[in-house]
Amino acid sequence: MGLKKVVEKRLRYDITANSLAETQAFAKKFAAELRPGDVLALYGDLGAGKTLLVKAICRALHTDEEPTSPTFTIINEYHAPDDLLVYHFDFYRIEHSEELVNLGLEEYFYNAHICFIEWPEKIAGHLPPTHYDIHLTFVENQPQARKIRVYRSDNPR
């Protein structure tokens, strides 16, 4: 009989952003808490604002490049002050785990970089034990508003 790993997820934020300005204000506050090595898994339907949130956080981190969706390239790299590298993954088009073999995910996830992952459910078995889960959902009858819930997963190895 094997032991099951216990997953501890702590709710860090539970907000409703009613506008782009409110999303950007949240991103600025949250970005100030991020540290090298942080991995952020962004969950949400198409159009929920995953890439928009990545852009806002990267702006707060002062990346040299304007983030764009890596839907077709799978990964984009951005440069921030103090030699901080920020990686932005989009696994929407991944259909089989074999497609991940040559990416070397561990090189990105277990290093002093910040990693954003869109569509992390496609690579669930590859996420590091400690990471942020960010859930973006639409707010009924408010097309500009988004519910943003941020959890910190501190999982034992």
CATH of domain 13-154: 3.40.50.300
What would the mean pLDDT of 75-104 be, rounded to a whole number? Answer: 89
Rg value, the chain, Cα = 15
Per-residue pLDDT band at 98 (split at 50, 70, 90): confident
- Segment 39-80, tens digit of pLDDT: 999 999 999 999 999 999 999 999 999 999 998 889 999 999
What would the mean pLDDT of 88-106 be, rounded to a whole number? Answer: 85
Percent of the chain surpassing pLDDT 90: 75
- In the predicted model, is pLDDT for residue 157 greater than 90? no
Is the Cα dihedral 83, 41, 33, 28 positive or negative?
positive
- In the predicted model, is pLDDT for residue 156 greater than 90? no
- Reduced 3-state DSSP string for 7-39: CEEEEEEEEEECCHHHHHHHHHHHHCCCCCCCE
Question: What is the spatial distance between Cα 143 and Cα 140, in angstroms, rounded to a whole number?
Answer: 7
Angle at CA of residue 117, ends 86 and 152, nearest 5°: 95
Per the model's pLDDT, the better-predicted residue between 130 and 100 turns out to be 130
Quick one: angle between helices 50-61 and 20-31, nearest 10?
Answer: 50
- In the predicted model, is pLDDT for residue 5 greater than 80? no
* Beta strand pairing call for 39-43 and 8-17: unpaired
- Segment 75-85, tens digit of pLDDT: 999 999 999 99
Query: Which strand ranges, in their side-by-side order, compose the sheet holding 130-139?
Result: 8-17, 142-154, 130-139, 39-43, 114-118, 84-90, 75-80
